Amino acid sequence: MKKKFKQLIFFVFAIVAAVSLSVAEASQEPVIIGVPLPLSGNLKEFGMMMKNSFEMAQTSVNEAGGINGRPVNIVFADDQGQVASVQPAFDKLLAAKPVMLVGGYASDPTYQMAKLAQKKDLPFLICTASADKITQKGWKNIYRLNPPISEYTKGLEDFLVNNFKPESMAIIYENSMFGTNGALRMTEFCQDQAIDIRAQIDYDKARINPAYFRSLVAPLTQEPPDVIYMISYLEDAVMLVQQIRDIKLNSLLIGGAGGFTLEEFIQRAGKSANHLLTVSLWSEHVLYSGAKAYYTEYVKRYGQSPDYHGAEAYSALLVASDALKRATSFSPKTIREALNRTYIITPFAPIKFYAYEEFERQNSINTLVLQIINGKFETVWPPELASTPFILPDGN
């Protein structure tokens, strides 16, 4: 009898040990987060900066204990910045069984990715794609860390009203969601401020080349505007600015974020970029906790400066990790509940998801104005964050 009792006790302990080992092993299983980005094609410069930043954040999160002891594992998928590539990218991410998606760069493919995520009941925290309608569709799974494009110019508008005060403007923009929405907002601002709109020029991103841009901007020489406001990605931003300089237009050039905030833009545009202003959502001069450390570490690792796209990506993974730590499970419902309760200061900005106007689950931040001075981005607005005063270009 005693022998059987001892055998029973041994058997029970063996089962308990096995279960404990299984639980311990399960607790170490990685938490999968899917990240769609343009890692090839014309937008890969942005995608690679964001990928680098996601990986930096992944290291930071895991070194701090991951998601309640479980490491974060990122699965990337290349959407090439094209709507046609969204479905295979989404299928790749779905096959990895992520608990949520984070990322998204260009608005058109990200909108389609969001539609698929909503259909599959998969939470998606967007960090860069900015078309207004992405968070105006009532999709309960779609959250956005960056402001909508209609808010990108808030800092610039303040700067123009209180500083430069132009009387006329030309607006040149890519005919995408990003470009069209941004141009609409600037048009409304000009109308509100009685600024004469000399031209509104949309261009086809599939046709960009120097001759095409020269034909678009040449008519501006007849009555040059005080400001030329441009909404473009990198390739077109470089060509556009060079053509404007070549035809000797002395207008103040202003970029609507996008390609104008990259260090590579300065390198490729050369002297043509000097004194150009650009909208930006972030700079190394912001005072948020961790911002300077992120900037310094990125430069140390990759030998170049990140812009707001990198800060968005880095911070988005911190936000997602914070929500997943607080979620009672990894069901879509509980992840959404955790995101709804989010309030966190990140290197990019404070993050809290609001419903306001027609937007839902949308963060909102103040925006900056940068100026390229001596081959470097300097913050010139708002005054409390300015690293140097605004320089009025010759001829203005």
**Helix and strand element counts for the chain (H, E):** 12, 16
Q: Which residue positions in the chain have pLDDT lower than 50?
A: 1, 5, 8-26
The predicted pLDDT at position 217 comes to: 97
Amino acid at residue number 142: I
At which residue do the structure tokens 């992405």 appear?
A: 134
Instruction: Give 66-98 pLDDT, tens digit per residue.
Output: 999 999 999 999 999 999 999 999 999 999 999
Report pTM: 0.90
Structural domains in the chain, CATH included, are: 31-147+287-362 (3.40.50.2300), 151-280+368-385 (3.40.50.2300)
The predicted pLDDT at position 395 comes to: 63
> CB 262: neighbour CB atoms within 10 A?
25
The predicted pLDDT at position 394 comes to: 75
Instruction: Give 295-314 pLDDT, tens digit per residue.
Output: 999 999 999 999 999 999 99
Instruction: Give 222-279 pLDDT, tens digit per residue.
Output: 999 999 999 999 999 999 999 999 999 989 999 999 999 999 999 999 999 999 999 9
HEC string of 119-132 equals HCCCCEEECCCCCH
Torsion of CA 321, 363, 91, 106, to 10 degrees: -130
| H helices present in the chain, as ranges | 2-27, 44-63, 86-95, 107-119, 154-159, 177-192, 210-217, 234-246, 263-269, 291-302, 308-326, 332-340
The predicted pLDDT at position 12 comes to: 40
